[in-house]
Amino acid sequence: MFLANMSHELRTPLNGVIAIGDRLADEEDPAVRREMAALVSSSGRLLEQVLGDILDVSKIEAGEFQLTPAPFDLVQLVRGMAELHAAAAEAKALTLRWSVSPEAAGTYEGDAARISQILSNLLANAVKFTGEGEVSLEVDCVDGALRFVVRDTGVGFDGDVRERLFKRFVQADQSITRQFGGTGLGLSICAALAEMMGGGIDAESVTGQGARFEVVLPLPRLADAAPEVEAEVQDEVSLEGLRVLVAEDHPTNRKVVEIVLEPFGVDLTMVEDGQAALDALDEDRFDAVLMDMQMPVMDGLTATRAIRAREAASHGPRMLIIMLTANAMEEHVAAAQAAGADLHLAKPLHPAQLLEALAQVRRG
- Strands annotated E in the chain: 70-73, 95-100, 107-110, 134-142, 145-152, 200-205, 211-217, 221-222, 243-247, 267-271, 288-291, 320-325, 343-346
- With pLDDT > 70 as the criterion, what percentage of the chain qualifies? 90
Q: What is the mean pLDDT of residues 181-190?
A: 72
CA distances from 122 to 213, 286, 335 (A): 8, 46, 33
Strand partners, 73: 107
Strand partners, 344: 323
CATH says 243-363 is which class? alpha beta
Q: Is the pLDDT of residue 300 over 60?
A: yes
> What integer pLDDT is reported at residue 159 of this predicted model?
73
CATH 1.10.287.130 fits 2-61, yes or no: yes
> Buried b / exposed e across 53-91, counting CB within 10 Å, b at 16+?
bbebbebbeeeebeeeeeebbbeebbeebbeebbeebee
Q: What is the pLDDT of residues 148-161, one digit of tens each?
A: 999 999 888 877 77
CB atoms within 10 A of CB 327: 18
The third-level CATH classification (topology) of the domain covering 70-222 is Heat Shock Protein 90 (3.30.565)
> What integer pLDDT is reported at residue 230 of this predicted model?
43
The candidate with the shortest Cα–Cα distance to 157, out of 189, 204, 94, is 204
The candidate with the shortest Cα–Cα distance to 359, out of 324, 320, 325, 326, is 320
> Domain segments of the chain: what residues?
2-61, 70-222, 243-363
Q: Is the pLDDT of residue 178 over 70?
A: no
Indicate the burial class of 96 (C-beta count within 10 angstroms; 0-12, 13-18, 19 or more). Answer: buried
- The string of DSSP letters for 334-355 reads HHHHHHT-SEEEESSP-HHHHH
Q: What is the pLDDT of residues 9-68, one digit of tens each?
A: 777 778 878 888 888 888 889 998 888 888 888 788 778 878 888 888 888 888 878 888
Q: What is the pLDDT of residues 82-120, one digit of tens each?
A: 988 888 899 899 999 999 999 999 999 999 989 999 999
Peptide bond into 69 cis (omega under 30): no
Is the Cβ–Cβ distance between 239 and 358 less than 8 Å?
yes
The candidate with the shortest Cα–Cα distance to 270, out of 241, 301, 291, 297, is 291
> What integer pLDDT is reported at residue 184 of this predicted model?
62
Q: Is the pLDDT of residue 169 over 60?
A: no
Is the Cβ–Cβ distance between 24 and 57 less than 8 Å?
no
Where does the pLDDT of residue 330 fall: very low under 50, low under 70, confident under 90, or very high at 90 and above?
confident
